[in-house]
Structure 1
Amino acid sequence: MIGRLSGTLLEKHPPHVVLDAHGVGYELDVPMSTFYVLPELNARVVLFTHLVVREDAQLLYGFATRAERDLFRELIKISGIGAKIALAILSGLSSDELALAIAGEDVARLSKVPGIGKKTAERLVLELKGRLGGLPNMPPDLAPLRPVDAPPGAGSDILHALLALGYNEREAAAAVKALPARTEVSDGIRLALKRLARV
């Protein structure tokens, strides 16, 4: 089991990253909560990881904190919640928002995450209620969003990230179109997810 990787960040194409560790390039999928806190390319980074081995693939998932990985592992234990949906949950809700939704049995809020229907949201509440309190606190949200000059292709990267998280093309395109001009990728994804959560 690969539990942790330390190396150089080579690529960032949300939600995928490539991390070079001692000459080996590891491809990982990360939730947006981790993507937001990644350093610039070619910087050193440490990610906690979870490896999934299937007949047709070996998939590696990366997380900024051990607590985030622990929450991911709690989610994938639930029937009907695979790794892709667990990443979508961690991308669409902060740990505090998820805990509040579970404690308040807010099925409607949970159902706004792509891939989560009413029955799955009810199962989340049933199986996670009382279990999230034992997980270490996740880091708070980052500083307020700041508009900056966007790199070329930022809109395309944001759209790709939303599609990878399970939103359909119409929803993703509408969310990207509503973003302010010159929004960088990580801030754009965050704003788009907040907009989609209100729809």
Structure 2
Amino acid sequence: MIGRLRGTLLDKQPPWLVVDVAGVGYELEASMTTLVALPAAGETISLYTHLTVRDDAHLLYGFLREQERTMFRALIKVNGVGPKLALAILSGMDEGAFRRCVLDDDIKSLTRLPGVGKKTAERLIIEMRDRFPHWEAPEAALLDGGEGEPPAGSPRDTLADAEAALVSLGYKPTEASRMLAGLEGEPSTEAMIKAALSRRMAG
């Protein structure tokens, strides 16, 4: 099991990133919450990881904070929730916001996330509620990302990358386009995605 990686961030194309560790490039998938908090390519980073082994692939997921990995591992134990949906949930809200939704029976906020219908939201609330008392309540707020956004590419490339990332999370192309409308002035793909997800959750 690969539990943690420390190395140089080579590339960041949401939701994917590549980390060089002693000459080996590890490709990981991460939530937007982690991606927007990462520095620019070329910087040293340390990530908590989770490895999923399937018949056709070994998939590695990266998390900036151990609490986010803990949440991811709890989510994929819920009936009907796989790694893709777990990352979509963690991209739309951090652990603190998700915890509040579960404890407050806030089905409406959960169903704003891609792939989460009413039945899934109800299942998340029922199966996750009993696990939270054993966790320290996280202090982070909804999508409270880090600083240090990387330099922007061309506006068209940034918009296309942001739309592709949202589609990879489970949003339909037309929905992703609506979420990104008017955000062309954001300085980077990650900033654009962060703003789009914040708008979606506030909507």
TM range (shorter): over 0.9
Which amino acid in the other structure matches residue 24 of structure 2?
A: V
For the pair 1:166 / 2:145, whether they are aligned, the reply is no
CA distance in 2, matches of 1:131, 1:12: 33
The counterpart of 1:151, out of the listed 130, 150, 153, is 153
The TM-score normalised by the length of structure 1 is 0.92
1:179 matched to 2:169: no
Matched, 1:14 2:14: yes
Write the distance in 2 (CA, Å) between the matches of 1:155 and 1:130.
Answer: 40
Instruction: Identify the structure with bigger relative contact order (alpha carbons < 8 Å, sequence gap 6+).
Output: 2
* 2:163 partner letter: L
SS of structure 2 residue aligned to 1:78: coil
Distance 2:2 2:80 in 1: 24
Report the secondary structure of 1:114's partner residue: coil
Shift of 1:40: 1.1
Q: What is the rounded CA distance, in whole Å, between the counterparts of 1:144 and 1:51 in structure 2?
A: 28
Q: Match for residue 77 of structure 2?
A: 77
Distance 1:122 1:182, change over 3 A: closer
Unmatched tracts of structure 1, length 5 or more: none
Counterpart CA distance in 2 for 1:116 and 1:83 is: 13
| Alignment of structure 1 residues 71-110 onto 2, 5 Å | 71-110=71-110
Distance 1:3 1:51 in 2: 8
Alpha-carbon distance between aligned partners in 2 of 1:122 and 1:145, rounded to the nearest angstrom: 37
Aligned length: 198
Deviations 1:73-95 (A, max 9, x none): 00000010000000000000121
1:28 is aligned to 28
Unaligned 5+ residue runs, structure 2? none
- Give the alignment partner of residue 195 of structure 2, picking from 177, 191, 197: 191
Kept in 2, the 8 Å contact 1:16–1:27? The answer is yes
Which AA in structure 1 matches 2:55?
Answer: E
Write the letter of the residue equivalent to 2:177: A
- State the alpha-carbon separation in 1 of the partners of residues 153 and 184 from structure 2: 14
TM-score normalised per structure 2: 0.90
Pairwise CA RMSD of aligned residues?
2.0
